[in-house]
């Protein structure tokens, strides 16, 4: 099957061609980063396309905008219908990434954004495979610290927040790593530029909490539930930088990254330098669920066709 090239996008309530979806250069979000976004995956299992945790993503989508008084002028059902409808409109029959977003439109250079400020909403979709090598990546701890609630709320998925992630990513690439790990203001492990992080010590999973500026990741909390059903406890707590070097396994979680093993940090080998057994179990179960092959978790997936 030839890769599909999405012809249509959803923009302000209508399906239009990509060329027809235009915004003026005075769009506020271009100047100040006043945009809200989400990332979802669609999984094609040769029979149907399944969207992973659609309603949970939409809930966070709306909540992120509330922090900055940026209004989403469509109901949750309208956004869900737009996402499903766009998959159908583009006849998507391969795994894909779905990006809904909304943003402040023409508003001059006024920084006083309110619920009545003009906004636009859109959804785009494109083919997507593995973001990282599922056999393991090498990570480096960045000198850049993760944004903190005292200055820029990290729990809101705002476009402007990810400038912090861009700096960390640029640094790690210059240093020869595949991905960065950011510390919080106190020097504890926070997260990667676009992923949550888990470490395994003594058969217990540890992951930073939101107090360490870690995003409340939908994939993260999916993994906590999966791990529990596999018999592994997860503890959310502060993780000092040094502790990651003592870990038996390390992996990242996120919509784009899914479950990505880390085999070394700062050049120090994690475990035996290969994908850990528990990481592999979680990887396999996550994919089964996303592909619609595990009835126990059927509440997490939405079929398109």
Same domain, 145 and 279: yes
pLDDT of residue 6: 74
> Residue 289: CB partners within 8 Å, gap ≥ 6?
52, 222, 226, 297, 300, 301
Task: Please say whether the beta carbons of 165 and 179 come within 8 A.
Answer: no
pLDDT of residue 185: 96
Low pLDDT (below 50) residues in the chain: none
Same domain, 95 and 181: no
One-character DSSP codes across 244-305: HHT-SEEEEEETTTEEEEEEEETTEEPTTSS--HHHHHHHHHHHHHHTT--GGGGGGEEE--
Number of domains in the chain: 2
Same domain, 161 and 272: yes
Q: Does residue 2 lie in a domain region?
A: no
Q: Does residue 296 lie in a domain region?
A: no
Same domain, 122 and 142: no
Q: Does residue 239 lie in a domain region?
A: yes
> Residue 128: CB partners within 8 Å, gap ≥ 6?
41, 95, 96, 97, 256
CATH number at residue 25: 3.30.470.10
> Residue 295: CB partners within 8 Å, gap ≥ 6?
none
Residue 174 parent element (H or E):
helix 163-174
Q: Does residue 212 lie in a domain region?
A: yes
Work out the burial of residue 185: count CB atoms within 10 Å of its CB; fewer than 13 is exposed, 13-18 middle, 19 or more buried. middle
Task: Please say whether the beta carbons of 199 and 238 come within 8 A.
Answer: no
Same domain, 150 and 47: no
Same domain, 149 and 257: yes
* pLDDT tens digits along 243-268: 999 999 999 999 999 999 999 999 99
Q: Does residue 305 lie in a domain region?
A: no
Which token pair is 218?
């939908």
Same domain, 147 and 180: yes
Q: Does residue 3 lie in a domain region?
A: no
Which token pair is 266?
């700062």
Q: Does residue 88 lie in a domain region?
A: yes
Same domain, 86 and 144: no
The CA distance from 188 to 212, in Å, is 7
The CA distance from 11 to 213, in Å, is 32
Q: Catalytic residue at 157?
A: yes
pLDDT of residue 1: 52
Residue 132: left (phi > 0), alpha (psi -120 to 50), or beta? beta
Same domain, 160 and 31: no
Same domain, 29 and 174: no
Same domain, 256 and 185: yes
* Distances 141 to 242, 265, 287 between C-alpha atoms, Å: 11, 7, 28
The CA distance from 286 to 264, in Å, is 23
pLDDT of residue 266: 98
What is the residue range of 95's domain?
Answer: 8-127
Domain end (from 94, 127, 160):
127
pLDDT of residue 2: 59
Domain end (from 109, 127, 145):
127
Catalytic one of 157, 220, 268, 277: 157
- 270-295 burial string, b = 16+ CB within 10 Å, else e? bbeeebbebbbbbbebbeebbbbebe
Domain end (from 127, 161, 186):
127
Closest CA to 133 of 281, 220, 261: 261
Q: Does residue 222 lie in a domain region?
A: yes
The CA distance from 301 to 285, in Å, is 14
Structure pTM? 0.95
Closest CA to 195 of 271, 127, 250: 250
CATH number at residue 280: 3.20.10.10
Work out the burial of residue 135: count CB atoms within 10 Å of its CB; fewer than 13 is exposed, 13-18 middle, 19 or more buried. exposed
Same domain, 40 and 177: no
């Amino acid at each position: 099957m030839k890769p599909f090239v999405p012809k249509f996008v959803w923009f302000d309530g209508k399906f239009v061609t990509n060329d027809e979806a235009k915004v003026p250069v005075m769009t506020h979000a271009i100047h100040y980063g006043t945009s809200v976004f989400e990332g979802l995956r669609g999984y094609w299992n040769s029979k149907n396309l399944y969207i992973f945790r659609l309603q949970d993503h939409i809930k966070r989508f709306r909540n992120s905008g509330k922090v900055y008084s940026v209004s989403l002028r469509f109901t949750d059902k309208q956004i869900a219908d737009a996402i499903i409808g766009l998959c159908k409109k583009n006849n998507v029959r391969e795994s894909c990434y779905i990006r809904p977003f909304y943003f402040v439109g023409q508003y001059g250079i006024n920084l006083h954004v309110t619920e009545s400020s003009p906004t636009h909403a859109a959804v785009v979709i494109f083919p997507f495979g593995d973001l990282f090598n599922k056999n393991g990546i090498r990570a480096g701890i960045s000198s850049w610290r993760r944004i903190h609630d005292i200055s820029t709320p990290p729990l809101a998925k705002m476009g402007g927040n990810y400038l912090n992630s861009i700096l960390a990513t640029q640094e790690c690439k210059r240093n020869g790593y595949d991905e960065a790990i950011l510390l919080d203001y106190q020097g504890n492990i926070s997260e990667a530029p676009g992923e949550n992080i888990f470490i395994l010590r003594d058969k217990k999973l540890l992951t930073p909490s939101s107090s360490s500026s870690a995003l409340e990741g939908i994939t993260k909390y999916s993994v906590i539930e999966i791990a529990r059903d596999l018999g592994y406890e997860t503890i959310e707590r502060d993780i000092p930088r040094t502790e990651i070097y003592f870990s038996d396994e390390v992996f990242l979680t996120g919509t784009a990254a899914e479950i990505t093993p880390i085999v070394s940090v700062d050049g120090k080998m994690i475990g035996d330098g290969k994908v850990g057994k528990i990481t592999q179990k979680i990887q396999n179960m996550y994919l089964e669920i996303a592909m619609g092959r595990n009835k126990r978790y059927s509440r997490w997936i939405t079929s398109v066709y």
